[in-house]
Amino acid sequence: MAERRHEVSEGGHPLTLRVRADRQARAPRGLRGPHDHLGRPRRAPKVHSEVRRPRLRPHLPAQRGPQPEAVDRRLRRAGAAEARSLVPLSVFALTGLGEIAAGDDLAALIADAAAGLLQDGDILAVTSKIVSKAEGRAVAAADREQAITDETVRVVASREYPGGVTRIVENRQGLVMAAAGVDTSNAPDGVVLLLPVDPDASARSLLGALVAATGLRLGVVITDTAGRPWREGQTDIAIGAAGLLVLDDLRGQTDASGRRLEVTVAAVGDEIAGAADLVKGKTSGNPVAVVRGLGQLVVAPTDAAASVGARALQRPSATDMFRLGTAEAYAEGFAAGQTAGRAR
């Protein structure tokens, strides 16, 4: 039989050493006596085998691919995002523009409203509505449905509701939008507005005139409102741009943890448009905003003509996972299956 003897630890608590028959002592597993509730590890409660979650599930595919290795922070160069974090960002609306009519010199009107306010590196976000008005892109409201059809290149989805039919289409500008971007908001009575024929060209024209009038290095973004897959609500996006980078390619740089970015390309053109809409609003009557603090995205005036426009933000069809609506994708797949079945 095993003998028991007590030794006193440095803290003064008696510990029990168990001595086996072969005289080999075994380390104590915990405190004994009145303190036996201290220092003793608690056992996890038993879980029924049917609800226990296994650590490994070999029957499921891998949820994450191999992660890039961490890069020593001492070897990293300062990225553009780190440089931007030190510069304050401000956005404010221009006031006093007034109603725009067909044929108006929009650049001159904006330059007058912004007199003494602009700084080198500023970006002007201009609502597409006033560009369309100045370019005479208005049609009679009675012809709205026909205008949507005329502006449509491809139907993405169509749904019938008690109030009518909603069509999500790809328009002539390559944008996927509800009603091809044809809109009645902020339009004169009895007419609807179409998008500018070439928003990037419109942005370049505005930029050239504004740079000539101010002598500053500026950027121009033409904005419009759109919905987004996965998300409720609408936000402004860039449909035209000149004088600035609309995509900030961060691939190859490292994040705050030192991991290399493999796929991150920031859609800064859309981010600028969304930020500007916070101060322009839909009902305030201020269609132009100035975004300040992103001068590193603005190119030199001599390079502005060659800058990539907002069309670069449009996803190619080969990688577009939302190219068709649910019902349309089902119908297309069903038709393809029927054709394949008849060919056998």
Q: Residue 23 has what pLDDT? A: 55
In the chain the domains, ranked by start, together with CATH numbers, are 3-33 (no CATH), 76-335 (3.30.1330.100)
197 with 128: CB under 8 angstroms?
no
Is residue 27 within 8 A of residue 45, CB to CB? The reply is no
The pLDDT tens digits for 15-29 are 555 555 555 555 555
Is pLDDT of 146 > 70?
A: yes
In sequence order, the β-bridge partners of residue 260 are 254
Scan for tokens 């590196």, then name that residue.
121
Q: What's the CA gap between 141 and 286, in Å, rounded?
A: 24
Residue 21 neighbours by CB distance under 10 Å: 8
Angle in degrees, CA 82, 88, 93, rounded to 5: 135
CB atoms within 10 A of CB 329: 14
pLDDT for the residue 102: 94
Is residue 94 exposed (0-12), middle (13-18) or buried (19+ Cβ within 10 Å)? buried
The pLDDT tens digits for 253-287 are 999 999 999 999 999 999 999 999 999 987 788 99
Q: Which of 33-47, 140-154, 169-183, 315-329 has the lowest mean pLDDT?
A: 33-47
Mean pLDDT of the chain: 81
Q: Enter the tokens of residue 13.
A: 């608590």
Q: Does residue 179 contact residue 145 with C-beta atoms inside 8 Å?
A: no
Q: Is the pLDDT confidence value at 213 over 90?
A: yes
Query: Tokens 């448009």 correspond to what residue?
Result: 273
Q: What local confidence, expressed as pLDDT, does residue 5 receive?
A: 46
